Amino acid sequence: MADELNLNDQELIRRQKLDMLREKGIDPFGSAFKRTTNSIELKTKYESKTKEELLELNVYVSVAGRIMTRRCKGKVGFMHIQDKFGQLQIYVRSDHLTEDEYEVFKKGDIGDIVGISGQVIRTDTGEITVKANKYTHLSKALRPLPEKFHGLQDKEEARRHRYVDLIVNEESKRIAFLRPKIIRAFQNFFDNRGFVEVETPILQPILGGANARPFITHHNTLDMDFYLRIATELPLKRLIVGGMEAVYEIGRLFRNEGMDATHNPEFTTVEAYLAYSDMEGMMDLIEDCFKTISKAVLDSTDIEYQGNVIHLGEPFKRIHMVQAIKDITNLDFFKIDDLDVALKLAKEHEIPVNKHQRSVGHIINLFFEKYVEETLIQPTFVFGHPIEISPLAKKSENPRFTERFELFINKKEYANAFSELNDPIDQKERFINQLKEKDLGNDEANEMDVDYVEALEYGMPPTGGLGIGIDRVVMLLCQADSIRDVLLFPHMRSK
């Protein structure tokens, strides 16, 4: 009784109908139903047939789905049921069903799941329809769906109740089915180029592979703290040392950071490493990757996104980070290598510098983030990152900078890639410098990974490595504005 006090009128009526089904000996939450076709297959197969031709063919099918519309007048009724592909009209007549079946149809609700067996016909309005000769109740919906033409207007509620969103929102369903096709296209791309897909641990004892704040958990049996991985980089490069030569992994990463339209605490990336390649090789590979995947998924390399037409089929622009800053601010950080001068310039340009950022390299990056990022609309490789912010990348000819690049599209980073650092002595020094930054308050600094340095001491070939944010690629190809709309279950604040 206490539960019933919390139900609205519609929910109470639906529970009464549930009792009615049981009285008739019908399980309200049914059992298996064998379908012979689905909405899209049926429409595709018979769309070209006239009303008369369908009657002559005398085709019988079994279909199932959720009731989305229904109208009943006397001894005749129509409804639309929805399966994963779309909606299909059902025509119901009392003289073609048993008395109980027609009664169950009349007492049915929008949201109920039913199975229909019957003849494929075309109605007078021209719609492909199944004329029911058997009606099977499969599952009772005890809650009403949102209003027919409104769906879930509140996006936050839609994301909290994705199961309802997928029922009533065609766009959400489109993205849900397109995302796995995009991931499959990534797999096909790397598989076809000789890479091997591998799996590496999510629980890692040492923080490394990226600059990010981690989630921390505890393993009781080992009595050890572990990080949820912030990158797959270091285990994958161990496999390059081991001679696998071309490896990639598509997987979830976890970063204990802010949330916005392009950031979620857990997200999906692909990281790939290729022996005997370098930064230039990774540029060519990523450019080919984006072009190939867009063509495979959308059959086009031009994408309208947030008011811009993005051209993935044209050669991507390539520019040094320092040159990009100079083009906008007229400041040449190739010539500025004095920390006091850099700090003075940051102050003049109202750029805050934290304790762990008190280096020319960090300040260059801060200038880039303030002045350059927002100008990068078409695909652009920005290379030559300062050594201070690139602890895993090989040095350039100018040792202040590294052979690293990021891909920017529409003001956002989509990929990050290096000529991988394979000098174990240099790598150890970089880790030591990262520990110093950690002491100065940089929660995102790498820790010392002694085993990884040891792995490099066995010899790693010159290698190119890349990481691509799959969620952002899905946003681009699906034309979605928020990462929460391309994740089936995004993280949300508690209500």
Q: Between the CA of residue 275 and those of 124, 171, 248, 279, what are the distances in Å? A: 65, 41, 12, 12
Rounded CA separation 406/226 (Å): 29
Whole-angstrom Cα distance, residue 46 to residue 120?
9
Q: What is the pLDDT of residue 3?
A: 52
- For residue 210, the model assigns a pLDDT of 86
List domains and CATH numbers for the chain. Answer: 2-145 (2.40.50.140), 168-316+378-485 (3.30.930.10)
pLDDT by residue (tens digit) across 246-304? 999 999 999 999 899 999 999 999 999 999 999 999 999 999 999 999 999 999 999 99
Average pLDDT of span 326-350: 97
pLDDT in tens, 171-216: 999 999 999 999 999 999 999 999 999 999 999 999 988 888 999 9
pLDDT band at 153 (very low <50, low <70, confident <90, very high): low
**Per-residue pLDDT at 301:** 98
The reported pLDDT for the residue numbered 148 is 55
Give residue-wise pLDDT tens across range 416-451.
999 999 999 999 999 999 999 889 988 888 889 999
pLDDT band at 7 (very low <50, low <70, confident <90, very high): confident
178 CB-contact burial (10 Å; exposed 0-12 / middle 13-18 / buried 19+): middle
Q: Are 299 and 439 in contact (CB under 8 A)?
A: no
> What is the average pLDDT across 310-332?
98
Q: How far apart are CA 207 and CA 231, in angstroms?
A: 9
What mean pLDDT do residues 210-224 have? 94
CA distance between the termini of the chain: 26
Question: Residue 314 corresponds to which tokens in the numbers above?
Answer: 């044209």
CA distances in angstroms from 102 to 107, 139, 183, listed in the order given: 9, 16, 45
pLDDT at 149 over 70: no
Tens of pLDDT, residues 27-83: 999 999 999 999 999 999 999 999 999 999 999 999 999 999 999 988 999 999 999
Query: What's the average model confidence in pLDDT over 396-401?
Result: 96
Give bridge partners of residue 72 from the DSSP assignment: 77
Q: How confident is the model at residue 1 (pLDDT cuts 50, 70, 90)?
A: very low
pTM exceeding 0.75: yes
pLDDT value at 4 more than 60: no
DSSP character at residue 141: -
* Average pLDDT along the chain: 95
Q: So what's the pLDDT on residue 2?
A: 41
